[in-house]
Amino acid sequence: MREEHGNVAPVMIAKGEDPGDVRTDVPYQLMTILSNLYPWMSDGKKIAVLTRRCDEKALAEIFKRGYFDRARIVQIGLACSKEQIAACRCSDPVPSTVDIGEPHAGVGSDALSEKLMNMSSEERLRFWIYQFRKCNKCFACTANCPVCFCDECVLEERTFVPERGVPPGMSFHLIRAYHLADKCIECGECERSCPAGIPLLTFRKLVAKDFRDMYKFSPGDDKNVSPLLTTLEGEALEGDECNEC
Amino acid sequence: MTEFKPTILAFCCNWCSYAGADLAGVSRLQMPTNVHVVRVMCSASVKPEYVMKAISQGIDGVLVLGCHIGDCHYMTGNHRTAKRIPVVQKILKDVGIDEKRVRLDWVSAAEGEKFQKVITEFVDEVAKLGPNPLREVAF
Amino acid sequence: MNVEHVLTTCPYCGTGCNFFLQVVDDRLIGVVPCKTDEISRGQLCIKGYNAHAFVQHPDRLKTPLVREHGELKQTSWEAALDLLAGEIKRIKEKYGPDSIAFLASAKCTNEENYLFQKLARAAVQTNNVDHCARLCHASTVTGLLYSFGSGAMTNTIPEFENADCIFVTGSNTLEAHPIIGARMLKALDRGAKIIVIDPRDTPLSRLAHIKLSQRPGSDIAWINGMIKVIIDEGLVDQDFVKTRTTDFDKLKDVVKDATPEKVESITGIKPAELAEVARVYAKADRAMIAYAMGVTQHSNGTNIVEALANLAMVTGHIGSESNGLNPLRGQCNVQGSCDSGGLPNLFPGYQRVDDEKARAKFEQAWDVKLPAKPGLTLTCAIKEAAVGKLKAMVIFGENIMMSDPDLGHVEDAIKELELLAVIDIFPTETSKFAHIVLPAACYAEKDGTFTNTDRAVRLIRKAVNPPGDAWPDWKIACELGKRLGAKGFDFSSPAEVMAEMATVTPIYGGIDHDRLDREVLRWPCPSKDHKGTRILHTQKFTKGLGTFAPVDHAPPAETPSDEYPFILTTGRNLFQYHTGTMTRRSSKLEREAPEPYVEMNKGDAKRLGISEGDRVSVSSRRGTINLKARVTERIIPGSIFIPFHYAEAAANRLTNAALDPESKIPEFKVCAADVQKG
Amino acid sequence: MPRIGVFICHCGHNIASTVSVEEVAKFAATLPGVVIADHNLYSCSEEGLNSIRKSIEQNKLDRVVVAACTPRTHEPLFRSVCEQAGVNKYLFEFVNIREHCSWIHAKEPSSATEKAKRLVAMGVSKAALLEPQTEGESNVIPAALVIGGGLAGLRATASLAAQGIETHLIEKEPRLGGLLNDITTLAPYSESADTLLQELVDEVRGSKRAHIHLNSKLRGLTGFVGNFKATLDEAGKKKEIEIGAIIVATGANELQPEGEYGYGSVPGVVTQLEFERTLKRGEKPGDTVFIQCVGSRQPGREYCSRICCNTSLKNALKVLEAGGTATIIHRDIMSYGTVWEEMYRKASEKGVRFIRYTLNDIPHVRSHASGTAVDVFDETLGERIHLDANRVVLATPLISQKDSAEVGKLLKVPRDKHGFFLEAHVKLRPVEFATDGVFICGTARWPSSVRETLSQALGAAAKAAIPIKRGKVVIESITAWADPDKCAACGNCVASCPYEAIEILEQDGKRVAKVNETQCKGCGTCVAACPNDAMQQRGFTTRQLSAMIDSLVKHALEESP
């Protein structure tokens, strides 16, 4: 990112070009921006990209699916500021190699998540219905998501999201939550870019926790295959024997 | 006031649970009239999206029934079902919808009685939960 | 390979969000929100995210077209411009300058609109220049000029976030101005009270603390009713009224008859509920009123606007942080095209053409004699054309064959014209009838400025080259000006145009492209060292004392009858935009709302045996259209709603061209209609 | 707009006695796209089928919905009617209002009728979105596999081989014949079991088409009808064979009633089969008491083993011939049919003594000076009596093979609660499994007499020969396909396909998922794995299933009273 027109802009600069007034304090989702560009960058040249810890994980999910050629990507590790870590309620903020910035420890928990899980389910539902009613179907959450890979999103179709116009209703958010269950790397971009101020990162964190507890799996490691894509391999399951034969 | 009769959607795989449902019928096993069976080839073809959609539109409960693990006509199809549905349940729980509104179970072609048992239990369970809170919510 | 992120301003509604266009080698591949933009803060609506989609669409006009034996034929710029200039001269010779009318455009830049009006006034000597502001906020401009002396948002968009009470009427904010709506939602999260008064349920009204549904066309009645409650319950800001306003007694006089019973009988609003609204609004610390077309598009739109101004002044909710009256402008530069003089009675900066001093200033600046008589409004121009008084129309980027009321009449009228020239980016329903069609560059292909609804003047920057031979409108205007033999049309860049405009437009006096490249400036910005003005009327009103207009309820021009028992009201939906020229060529937007529909109340539908998705025909005294029924509880019984985006069932075939006497805005929001199954 | 016809079946009283068929038809007529809604007494009767065919033609229908019984048995029938009337058979939708409605809601006619309406509405909404399909064909490997070398297996093998079909017979034991080896003569005409067995074995061994694999077990199976690949373990050696059809003839076992009726503790107490062996060895039976229904027709094993009564009658007569006395202690004598009943009469005339007991007072067997003694309460005399005997024969039932579960899993075929295999339909598809190309005969299905076993074996062989003789099988068009415009090549489908039938390929400059249709078995696992709905299954598209959900919502929630 660099300073331009009194704003901070994402930039891609060629080798030797003057980077200008570089800024690293504005959390642009560079992996998403790069994903849009990548198909057009057929020249095979290497691409260096500023990489926070969450971006590292996003890259892992991208590599896993073969969207980027691993060999072309050079990661410049960026340690997030205390403020940013707090804003993301991030527990895992330090990239594998820190090239820029001071590494800071992560924060343990997301206050809202805890508050929600201590509510009765009625209260919790009331909370989310209010939040989702504000949804204006801008698709910022999918458009800016580094691990949303479809050009044509099913949430744009009428098949599973029956509500006309806005707000799109509950299924929109439930289905998206499911789609992200095994790949969300908790970068928080959905929440940052949501005009309605829906605490989407909290929603992601709630599901991520359940997913970890169930399958001991956290997205962002390109060696691990999502449990949703594997067989049981003898994992014990309730009622997995026919009780009568 | 009339007691609440939940509306329930059941996905049954062609090879085991649908056959089990047929057997229950052939055996004249009586059960509540709330359950509407949709036939699919394998429980693994049940998109979690269907469940989310049904619950979001006010269906009171969704059943996904497949072959017992190991008996799947498609070898490991139901393994995937066994992985997916619990995630759906958790997500529902996270937004404050009782995860008991979605149930995954295994019913073989021979288990007419188990089909009856599952249906009857589930209907009671959901009846206890009361109407799907999303039923009346206009977004 | 060259990758760029070009910062520019959204071409859709008047919010004026900035974002980056993602460009790879002159190919537009996407939109990236700008996180540091004061207005959008890195948040866009679905139209913003798709603002790149139509730009490089194959349908774009790429070469000048001239009609020969009924066929539009490709030709060169030279030939096309010579022909156009020649025709204008001929018609001017034959019928006089006022037989020619220019339409400026709320989709074009300030610089371009400045040139369009200069073209009309300086090159052709007519004040016949107008644009679609006539159809949206003309009543705001006239109304607020009378009440405050300035017809624009009194406050800024970010201020909504800190209001304690947000009072919304006639605006479907979340759909028509999503990012302004977003600020309202932030306020809501903060605990602010949101009040919506609208005949329809809107996404915002469903979140509001109080939602009242009035009968369409009954606004002054409930506003006066509120004011009466405020007076009767001693909630008037006496001090403000005393020191800052005049004619309060006249107001008192009219509102005293606005008894709850009378108001209810006219509006259908329960007295208790109206009183509650009055109290919540009056007692709030910081209260913002937001309104839009639901208020302005009435045959008494100017009076309704004045009534709202009264309400704001009575309670002193104006002239300070998060206290104000805010017309939400619907197009990227509708504010700017008014500012830069695209109006028949006003020079740039709202200086009256019939004001000697003002005219003298412009005559000197442009070194030419200027006509004193205010020109024809868009709506009157159409009427004049129909009766053969107007002979030529030059239309920059407007689609009157979709946007104007009573399209049947418009069609008859423009068929009468000897010359119809359309300058646009796509073929439109209007260009079908044109003799000359010129291909223009769109927002992503040129430099310039848009002025958004909160008066912020924002740069747009060229990201890609125009398709084929398309030219930016400012260049077209300049070339046409020269060919008409006028002086002062040799500009080499929009920046130069803005430099000239600043010299003759006091509210833009301090504005230039260099400053805009660094800072956000809101007019009035009289001088280079002036930081711009966030809040209007802080110490005193632009005109001095705010004037209470003693306005009273008058029924709409057309009321339901046995033959046409429904009240038809029109508007937008979130996904489409205006006449659809751009959005309907953006696949994702089109998919969200692909076909025309009429919203009607469940009860009415049941009575007529209509169910969701049925084809129905809707007719008014002016025409009939056929479309799908959407059965809903989100509109009151007796009313129906049709979005006007869809050419295949153009709502404006039905609407009434009855005009507001002062602002000449048509009554889009009320006409009598009938619905039949099939 | 499609033109849908809905046909509601009374199924005689089966449906109509609970569900108001007329009301459902009236309701169906109001559904979008429905141009005709009719009802027939028996839709599957010639008359019913004709009226459907006529209606399709008269009303120019392009979609057909039948609401009747279960698609698992009747779908092919109605599909063929559609085809005869010129409607692609995949434009047919079956709604089950019998097994899933009338039969299970017999006491709630009104709510059953309401449910039937909703089920029909769901079916119609799916039907409206059905698309015509063309079916693929695949070649059939002209060979068969018979599992089990007992009576059923031998008979089936002989029959297949005689039809010129290469037939592999696998038997886990070192010798052929199964239970038959232990039996002396066959009731009622006392043919020698050995002779029958020998004839069969000679016929099989004599045929160059029959290939016998002794000491062999099935270890693995892949493929589908016409193209199975079986892995055998033949005497420790792994062997792969390819076949087009499979017959399950794994037979059954005799129950060993350990600890019951003195079995194992009291000398002279034997099972029926052990008794047969002694007779075969030529031992004199002496005074013999038969106890029937030992371990059957009681809680836990409710079924009647069907052959025990007749066997005991047969052997009782042998005992008399050998100069001993014979008593049959029974709960009911089940000598059904003509010849067996005849034998029962003969036995009582000749002096076989019949004593009836009940489960609440079962015979007591103990050792005794002169051998064995049985105390039993005689229901008819109403008094407890004492019997001395040299032998006590316990007539125990046939039970399913221990390894039937294993075989069931390998073949993906269902078994009943007692471990016997379940055919597709008792009356309509008696020797077939629901899985195409796999058949069943003999006591693996349920206890059956030699006669029944032989006819089942011949039936199974005849059925198995059909695909092989045809040489081709049509593959039902329920395969998956990916919409290249939507597909984002995320690979979820590739990872989840149980058949490795999907790969990511470059297609006009875009990476997209491609389904190999001959490998696809139509399970739809990939469809559920696909995040953006690019993956679809023919006949079960996401739009079709979503439409069913919408229609349930509409009719159950929105328009419910």
Q: Where are the domains of chain C?
A: 3-49, 65-136+332-490, 138-328, 566-677
Tens digit of pLDDT for each residue in A175-206? 999 999 999 999 999 999 999 999 999 999 99
DSSP string, D487-535: -----HHHHH-TT--EEEEEETTEEEEEE-TTT-----HHHHH-TTS-E
| Statement to judge: residues D225 and D293 lie in one domain | no
Cα separation, C654 vs C402, in Å, equals 11
Positive/negative CA dihedral, D297, D301, D304, D308: negative
| Statement to judge: residues D512 and D445 lie in one domain | no
In C399-440 the beta strands, taken as DSSP E runs, fall at 419-424, 436-439
Q: Does the pLDDT at position D81 exceed 80?
A: yes
Q: Where are the domains of chain A?
A: 2-88, 111-229
Q: How confident is the model at residue D559 (pLDDT cuts 50, 70, 90)?
A: low
Query: Among D396, D430, D448, which residue terminates a domain?
Result: D396
Identify the CATH number of the domain in which residue D189 sits.
3.50.50.60
The number of folded domains in chain D is 4
SS (H, E, C) A2-57: EEECCEEECCCCCCCCCCCCECCCCCCCHHHHHHHHHHHCCCCCCEEEEECHHHHH
State CA D409 to chain mean position distance.
14
DSSP string, C132-156: THHHHTHHHHHHHHHHTS--S-SS-
Q: How many CB pairs under 8 A join B and C?
A: 3
Identify the CATH number of the domain in which residue B15 sits.
3.40.50
User: Does residue B135 lie in a domain region?
Assistant: no
Q: Does the pLDDT at position D24 exceed 70?
A: yes
Cα separation, D189 vs A150, in Å, equals 75
User: Does residue B29 lie in a domain region?
Assistant: yes
List CB contacts (< 8 A) between A175 and chain B. 48-49, 52-53
List CB contacts (< 8 A) between C633 and chain B. 138
pTM of the model: 0.89
Beta bridge partners of C600: C631, C640
List CB contacts (< 8 A) between A28 and chain C. 32, 35
Q: Does the pLDDT at position A223 exceed 60?
A: yes
List CB contacts (< 8 A) between B48 and chain A. 175, 178
Give the CATH number of domain C566-677.
2.40.40.20
In A30-143 the beta strands, taken as DSSP E runs, fall at 47-51, 73-77
Tens digit of pLDDT for each residue in D260-289? 999 999 989 999 999 999 999 999 999 999
List CB contacts (< 8 A) between B94 and chain A. 116, 124, 177, 203, 206-207, 210
- Closest-CA residue to B18 (of B37, B34, B36, B32): B37
- Average of per-residue pLDDT values in chain B: 94
Q: Does the pLDDT at position D201 exceed 90?
A: yes
Helix (H, G, I), strand (E, B) or coil at A116: helix
Cα separation, D378 vs D387, in Å, equals 11
List CB contacts (< 8 A) between A174 and chain B. 52, 55-56, 91-92, 95
Tens digit of pLDDT for each residue in D410-451? 888 888 889 999 888 888 789 999 888 999 999 999 999 999
Where do we find the tokens 């043919």?
D191
Cα separation, A2 vs C79, in Å, equals 46
Tens digit of pLDDT for each residue in A11-69? 999 888 888 889 999 999 999 999 999 999 888 899 999 999 999 999 999 999 999 99
Q: Does the pLDDT at position D118 exceed 60?
A: yes
Cα separation, A44 vs C360, in Å, equals 64
User: Of 3.90.580.10, 3.40.710.10, 3.40.50.150, 3.40.50.740, which CATH number belongs to C65-136+332-490?
Assistant: 3.40.50.740
Q: Is C43 on the interface with A (CB under 8 A)?
A: yes
User: Does residue B55 lie in a domain region?
Assistant: yes
Q: Is B56 on the interface with A (CB under 8 A)?
A: yes
Q: What is the mean pLDDT of each run of 10 residues along chain C (678 residues)?
A: 94 96 95 96 96 96 96 96 97 96 96 97 96 91 93 96 97 95 97 96 94 94 97 96 96 94 96 97 97 93 96 96 95 95 95 95 96 95 95 95 92 96 96 97 97 96 97 97 95 97 97 96 96 96 95 92 94 89 90 93 93 93 95 92 93 92 91 93
Query: Among D347, D367, D396, which residue terminates a domain?
Result: D396
Chain A interface, mutation test: which of C37, C462, C592, C595, most A Cβ atoms within 10 Å?
Answer: C592
Q: How confident is the model at residue D560 (pLDDT cuts 50, 70, 90)?
A: low
- C-beta atoms of A177 and B94 within 8 A: yes
Contact C284, C164 (CB under 8 A): yes
Q: How confident is the model at residue A235 (pLDDT cuts 50, 70, 90)?
A: low
Q: Which of D488, D529, D543 has its CB closest to that of A149?
A: D488
CA distance C206 to chain B (A): 8
**Closest residue on chain D to A244 (Cα):** D417
**pLDDT at site D561:** 44
Q: Is C207 on the interface with B (CB under 8 A)?
A: no
Q: Is A210 on the interface with B (CB under 8 A)?
A: yes
**pLDDT at site A245:** 36
| Statement to judge: residues D219 and D333 lie in one domain | no
Architecture of the domain delimited by C138-328:
3-Layer(aba) Sandwich (3.40)
Chain B interface, mutation test: which of D15, D94, D101, D104, most B Cβ atoms within 10 Å?
Answer: D104
**pLDDT at site A116:** 96
Contact C471, C439 (CB under 8 A): yes
- Mean of pLDDT values over A143-169: 90
Q: Any idea what DSSP says for residue D301?
A: B
| Statement to judge: residues D267 and D320 lie in one domain | yes
**pLDDT at site D429:** 86
Chain A interface, mutation test: which of C9, C17, C27, C185, most A Cβ atoms within 10 Å?
Answer: C185
- Mean of pLDDT values over D103-108: 96
**pLDDT at site A240:** 44
The number of folded domains in chain B is 1
Domain that holds residue B84: 8-129
CA distance C356 to chain A (A): 41
Cα separation, C566 vs C559, in Å, equals 9
Q: Which of A123, A167, A210 has its CB closest to that of B139?
A: A167
Domain that holds residue D161: 143-253+400-473
- C-beta atoms of D531 and A66 within 8 A: no
Q: Is B98 on the interface with A (CB under 8 A)?
A: yes
In CATH terms, the superfamily for domain C3-49 is: ADC-like domains (2.20.25.90)
- C-beta atoms of A195 and C179 within 8 A: yes
Please name the chains neighbouring B, where neighbouring means 3+ C-beta pairs under 8 angstroms.
A, C, D
List CB contacts (< 8 A) between B83 and chain A. 215, 227-228, 230, 232
CA distance C357 to chain A (A): 38
